[in-house]
Structure 1
């Protein structure tokens, strides 16, 4: 029989009292009552069990600007910021923390998509705007998407047609309409983003939209709207009288 002393149990985190108080506040006042840094701090509890996560939460918000900005950031960028804030070498812990955050924000995106995918898009303007803003508002490069709708304006498919550079994504009007016919979609909503922030349509945006409208017209495919998403808001061609 060995006389060796049993291995010591892990020391209780010095932050456990603070964490419990924060959890109690969230339980009593609701998550909505927490500022962004405290919400992020709580999300980090599970990834970082024995360290104060408040400084990291504040550093992430300062680096990426908002919770949406963190959600849109690359794994490498989050990994680097975690390592810098925790003063550790990039490795297993920083990568795991970055992955945990990305899983959380990806799950939130899927939840945000559900209302737009489960009821008519056109009659649910608020859900549509929330969906496109979550999907594109913080994309660092221009992305061109098409929402294909059925005859009841129910979403069939949200498809990324092309990704481009910081200020250009190539668009092929005939391909957009060909895909609509494949999906038996007679109504579409065109969506793309302006990474620079200003959603105001450019002359190229207007010309491209008119080409899609013209390509769809003889085949009875209607372009309901073209939405441009920027950090400053969402521009609607229909509201602007451009469609």
Structure 2
């Protein structure tokens, strides 16, 4: 029976043969051929042609170059649900999974950071109201798979161009403390003329709570007194979002 290797159990070898040094044995043909097939399918059909576990395998190839990573990809998806959940998982949670060590954790967090940076570039310094779909994609990328609630504010100038996106609070699985005075204070510091409020529901259901509605009303009243517009409050769930504006709550 072939012994499955984790990254932590892999021996270290020199990149080239030298006197008195061991040389890494060649990959078993079934692993080598499987990796070759996956890479070819990705190049030919892109991500759309591959399920989450195969995309995850492609990422793990770099972190664990000398083992079959399919079982590890399956374990990660079983634990965190989907590829987005794997990438968003905190490192302490990732390392609870058998076979995950520093190299795997680093590879996954680099990929998460790259995805967030790409989405953010699509909305930063742009007219947000005419790029609404890109804004929703960005909010889902950074918030949909979080395991605790977080609250962000998008600050816009007079032309509704996004000038800043800042986290204003982080809480528990079902609550995040928000201080309306601090939100408005920061808007004045940045010279913002309008705001979009965003927070997530780790439960996956974006239905706002009574506390969400009350907090939004407090911020809206404080903003109105200073001539600052609240365009919307978005609640981000796992697969969909809720707009306070669309629901008549703002």
TM-score normalised according to structure 1 size: 0.90
- Indicate the residue corresponding to 2:13 in structure 1: none
Indicate how the Cα distance of structure 1 residues 218 and 7 shifts in structure 2: closer, same or farther if over 3 A, else same.
closer
Q: Are the counterparts in 2 of residues 71 and 106 from structure 1 also a CA contact under 8 Å?
A: no
Residue 121 (structure 1) aligned with residue 128 (structure 2): yes
Indicate how the Cα distance of structure 1 residues 12 and 173 shifts in structure 2: closer, same or farther if over 3 A, else same.
same
- Indicate the residue corresponding to 1:38 in structure 2: 54
5 Å-filtered alignment, 1:38-57, equals 38-57=54-73
Q: CA deviation at 1:124?
A: 1.2
TM-score normalised according to structure 2 size: 0.87
SS of 1:117's equivalent in the other structure is: coil
- Indicate the residue corresponding to 1:11 in structure 2: 25
Gaps of 5+ in 1: 87-92
Output the CA distance in 2 between the equivalents of 1:241 and 1:31: 38
- Indicate the residue corresponding to 1:77 in structure 2: 93
- Indicate the residue corresponding to 1:172 in structure 2: 179
Output the CA distance in 2 between the equivalents of 1:108 and 1:236: 24
RMSD: 1.7
Q: CA deviation at 1:5?
A: 6.1
**Count of paired positions:** 231
Residue 139 (structure 1) aligned with residue 141 (structure 2): no
Output the CA distance in 1 between the equivalents of 2:205 and 2:80: 18
- Indicate the residue corresponding to 2:74 in structure 1: 58
Deviation string 1:121-156 (CA, Å, 9 cap, x unpaired) is 111111111111111111111111110011111111
Indicate how the Cα distance of structure 1 residues 164 and 17 shifts in structure 2: closer, same or farther if over 3 A, else same.
same
Q: CA deviation at 1:8?
A: 4.8
- Indicate the residue corresponding to 1:20 in structure 2: 36
